[in-house]
A and B are shown apart, each in its own frame.
Chain A
Amino acid sequence: MALGTVEFVQALVNGLLQGGFFALSAAGFSLIFGVQKVLNVAHGAFIVLAAFATIQFSILVTPVLHIDPLLSIFTDSLMLALVGGSVYLLLIYRIERTGFEAPLLATFGLSILLEYLASNGIGPFPALDPSHGIGAQAQHQSYSSTAIQIGPFFLQEAQALAFVMAVVVLPILQLFLSRTYRGRAIRATSQDWEAAEFSGINTKAVRLLSFITGSALAGLAGGLFAFTNSVTATAGDEVLLPVILVVVILGGIGSILGTLAAGFLVGVIMSVSSLIALTLPSQFQFHADLASLLTFLIFIVILMVRPRGLFGHGIAE
């Protein structure tokens, strides 16, 4: 199949939109890792938890109260802020000073627990089963099939919303980090927590704030995930976490604007790779994997040239 200009530009547009979602997903992870040096591997599961909540919302709340399920992204964000805050106070706070390993194992355990709950249902809320169960049902009701047409190009509505959210929310977060006392306290803590503490900053409160903010971002991303993708209980670990890690490392750990740019880059690479895969003769049999293959190949090459990522090396930019 010949590669036309329209198809190529459409792939670029799709990549940018998808990249917005990647950036939104990765920003919270990056913030938490930048400040606390905690690799929250449950971040993907947090996103799935929010997606799960949105799917339940679209099934249980929307038909009764006639509220647009899209609005659930804000309740997701609030819910995840609470979940994140609780996880920090009950779990991470007690073990974070012991080193890198304990929080990593704890969040790994937490992600397994969340996956288990999502695949078995939580209380009255049924389990995720996107192939023929409720996940698919919510997908069907969702915005995933609605597209905005601009000239010859199509923008999937939910993806476009993720893009807009990313380009609005992440620069606001960056402004918060660089212009407000609390934001600077987060940066100071990320640079030297002990110095922050003896400069008069309550670093426990700062860590809690960054965990809450990072988790709230996961909530926002998760709500949008429910509209753009087929949600499975294990999507957090299998689909999201690898991409999040690539975006965070390329963006420079703790750099919010770097994460935004890296999200776009990864989105475009994946989208264009998929398009190239489609144009290859079928005997190559690359189709499904070429996007991931190329993304990680480019990722490795970039890291060989710039080991600290493409953009900056800290929250301070």
Chain B
Amino acid sequence: MLSVDSVSASYGNLRVLWDVSMSAEAGEIVSIVGANGAGKSTLLKSIMGLVRTQGGEIVFEGTRVTGVAPHTLVAMGIAYVPEGRRLFPEMTVRENLRMGAPRRCPEVHERLKVVHDLFPVLEERSFQLVTTLSGGEQQMVAIARALMAKPKMLLLDEPSLGLSPIAFEKVIGVIEKINREGVAVLLAEQSSERAMEISDRTYVLENGRVAGSGLSDELLHDPMVRAAYLGVGT
């Protein structure tokens, strides 16, 4: 469904990704783990067209999408939940959600119902400014806004950031539910163990390079991975 082949990316003169290759298939949850600064966010931004890549190519459903504008990728079926949520602060919850759906969207009410079923609290908060919501609720708005595009694949960047363990567990539950309904998920997460537990496959990034990859179950039980990336002794 999505393949990233030898992609590099830089911020100015600072190279952040080095020949990264990865893939995600329909129906999968794929996690990208690694320390702070390993390049997880940059990889998602590169896929989403928010960071200019150098070399390599990104293909989504057979179409080369390297350098394609983010709004076109959304129309093609990729939605993105960024680190830090990036909601529209001077808009209500309902307005934020509406912006996630395309301009001509006859089924906008059905889509709203779907996200309200996933996050009932957002229906109650519909006409509140998003800035008046708690961190967990704001994360729900960010995920719901992305789902309003009815994506085939959802990219999530650090959804645990700033959330209490209980709020994060709720978000994890929703990610699993979305995935069961057929949406592929690419999850970049510093809470590596939890991300690996819910994902099918995992890529481990280290200093902008893929340091390892495999089935999440196997990596979770690999003593070296546990010691190096999960902070668990052998």
Contact = CB atoms under 8 A, between A and B. Distances in A.
Interface in B72-114: 74-75, 80, 82, 86-91, 95, 98-103
A199 B69 CA distance: 11
Interface in A163-192: 181-182, 184-185, 187-188, 191-192
B86 A200 contact: no
B50 A195 contact: no
A245 interface: no
B48 A198 contact: yes
B99 A196 contact: yes
Main secondary structure, interface of A, reads: helix
B82 A195 contact: yes
A202 B69 contact: yes
A201 interface: yes
Residue in B71, B91, B95, B146 with the greatest tally of chain A CB atoms within 10 Å: B71
Contacts of A194: 50, 70, 86
A191 B89 contact: yes
A199 B91 contact: no
A201 B99 contact: yes
Nearest to B142: A195
Given A198-B80, A199-B100, A200-B102, A188 B88 contact: yes
Contacts of A203: 71
A197 interface: yes
Interface residues of A, number: 22
A314 B131 CA distance: 14
B201 interface: no
Contacts of A192: 86, 88-89
Contacts, number: 68
Contacts of B70: 194, 197-198
Contacts of A196: 88, 99
Contacts of B209: none
B40 interface: no
Interface string A46-80: 00000000000000000000000000000000000
Contacts of B98: 181, 184
Contact of A199 (B50, B90, B99): B99
B153 interface: no
A175 to B, nearest CB: 14
A188 B89 CA distance: 9
Nearest to A197: B70
Contacts of A188: 88, 91, 99
Nearest to A182: B103
Interface of A: 181-182, 184-185, 187-188, 191-192, 194-204, 314-316
8 contacts: A181-B103, A184-B95, A191-B91, A192-B88, A199-B74, A199-B100, A200-B71, A201-B71
